[in-house]
Amino acid sequence: MIPAEIRRALGISSGDVLLVRTEANRLVLEKREALLRRLRSRFRKATAGVSLADELIAERRAEGRREGEP
């Protein structure tokens, strides 16, 4: 159980989904929404101006050529 004072300080409410991971011998709890925001931000920057569909098609075609498909 997380103490009420810490929950209030972190904005954790009853029913919030928390994800758990280890990081450098520490236990890290993170709200699901915070993780999703962080990942969306990271991938938005990484894929700016890039068509993921075009990248996937090119990758599959290259695999096919390596495997001797027409």
| pTM of the model as a whole | 0.50
What pLDDT is recorded for position 42? 79
Count of all residues that appear for the chain in the document = 70
For the chain, the 3-state helix, strand and coil shares in percent, each to the nearest 5, are 55, 15, 30
What pLDDT is recorded for position 9? 94
Indicate the DSSP class of residue 16: -
Model confidence over 15-58: pLDDT tens digits? 899 999 999 999 999 999 989 988 888 777 666 677 778 888 98
